[in-house]
Amino acid sequence: MSCPSVYRTHVASSALAITSWRGPRWGPVWAILVAHTESERGPLAVTSIGASIRESRTARGWSQARLADALNEVAGHATLDRHYVARWERNARKPGYYWLPHIERVLSVDLHGTAPDPAGSSSEDDDMRRRTLLGLVDGSVLDSAAKGLEPVRRQLDAALDGPVTEDDATEWERAVDRYSRLVNRFPAEQVLPGLLIGLDEVRGQLETASGDLWLRLLGVCALLSGLAATSLVGAGCWSDAERYWRTAQRAARFSEDRVVRCLVASDRAVFGIYMPGGNPATLLGIADEALAWGEGTISKGTANALSARAQVLSLLGDRAGAYAALATLETVFEQLDGGWPEPRLCHVRSFVYSHVGSARESAAAQDQALAKYPCPLSPGAVQVQMHRARSIIASGDPTQGVRHIVTMLEKIGPSFRHGYVGTSAEFALHALPEKARSLSGVQRARELISEKVAL
């Protein structure tokens, strides 16, 4: 896998952020897209669907942000946020032909008979199509548009150069939050380019900042570096990930922010589980270090550290220790009151029970975790399927377990087979008894895991 190309292509990939560029070549593309959709779905009558979306969403107990994330996940790109959903529900905008089938799929609702209002949806719907098609049309259009984007923006930033302010630091902290919701949901080749551009920009501002602003920007650098490392782990770029983890921890140390240090250390403990050669004792030490920085407070970092402890101890076969860490994590989760994602808690339960729990416990935990993923082929959902494969093997059916691993790997794109998913598959394969390790499916699984992907 040629990971360094990530850095060479980050300017081109940043073209996915275009939202207002227009050119004569795009008009026919929009017309073809709309005509094709109409031919597939038939004529649609214009009616309001805001209430239908809102009712279906609230019936599931989802926030507008949760629905936006689910739609991004099934669409395979990050262009939607809660503000779009709010506009749909207020009937200020109507979802276009692109989003209608995704909304129907995610909410299990029939919206046939509803269409976007041509006058009201043109700006928003064209914007969505443009973002999507920029990733689909021929490379010459994308490259030619991208080559001029970043230099122009950088020159404008230079012309607006001035002292770093509180607003700058606040905006970077918001950027960290946005990227934290993209990493692991989308392939590294989609997330890393923009993330690395941002990291380079904040590094430049760090050079001119001072005092408290300098410390805050150091915290931003630490968290962005940690997110870059996390994304690289997902892509299976182990050595690059290790370097970014070191940078993240160094920046966190200099930031003098205990919350940042707790977050970076706990993330490294969690995602280190999936890196080759990860030493369990070292990972437990990093998790304990994160808990120490948390000083007994209830925080995301504390939850991350406890999840790392539970999973590492289950890999070591320490059932009592893993269950104790999981029980403490569940208590912290309740006290965070929505501050830590429930799908992640269910994922940890699935991991722990699949390694040290009974067949009944593991099956229940896997079902509960899978129900939390709107897209059954998202990386998290496929990891849970690998937990299931391990349980099948442990129950005495290695042939079916291996078959399940291969089936799931074949269903997802090569970009998602490395990192977390690949290591989860290896965890399942490690449960095979000696005599079953020569099964033909084992070789096929490893071929799929090792398939090269150019970033």
So where are the chain's domains?
A: 5-140
- Fold that domain 5-140 belongs to in CATH: 434 Repressor (Amino-terminal Domain) (1.10.260)
* Cα 401 from Cα 425, distance rounded (Å): 10
CA dihedral 408, 430, 415, 102 (to 10 degrees): 30
* Cα 225 from Cα 355, distance rounded (Å): 31
CA neighbor of 176 nearest in space, from 218, 138, 141, 142: 218
Helix axes 258-272, 211-234, angle to 10 degrees: 10
Q: What is the pLDDT of residue 26?
A: 38
3-class SS at 186? strand
Q: Could you tell me if residue 184 is left (phi over 0), alpha (psi between -120 and 50 degrees) or otherwise beta? A: left
- DSSP, residue by residue, 285-341: HHHHHHHHHHTT--SHHHHHHHHHHHHHHHHTT-HHHHHHHHHHHHHHHHHHTTSS-
Q: What is the pLDDT of residue 102?
A: 81
- DSSP, residue by residue, 11-38: HHHGGGG--S---TTHHHHHHHHHHHHH
Answer whether 428's CB lies under 8 Å from 401's CB.
yes
φ and ψ at 318, to 5 degrees?
A: -85, 85
CA neighbor of 420 nearest in space, from 323, 336, 351: 351
Q: How far is CA 435 from CA 2, 134, 244, 426, in A?
A: 35, 50, 40, 17
Write out residues in the chain with pLDDT < 70, as ranges: 1-48, 76-79, 96-98, 112-161, 452-455
Sign of the CA dihedral running 109, 115, 121, 124: positive
Which residue has tokens 């970033």? Answer: 455
| pTM of the predicted protein model | 0.68
- DSSP, residue by residue, 117-185: -HHHHHHHHHHHHHHHHHTTS-HHHHHHHHHTHHHHHHHHHHHT-----HHHHHHHHHHHHHHHTTBTT
Q: What is the pLDDT of residue 232?
A: 92
3-class SS at 45? coil
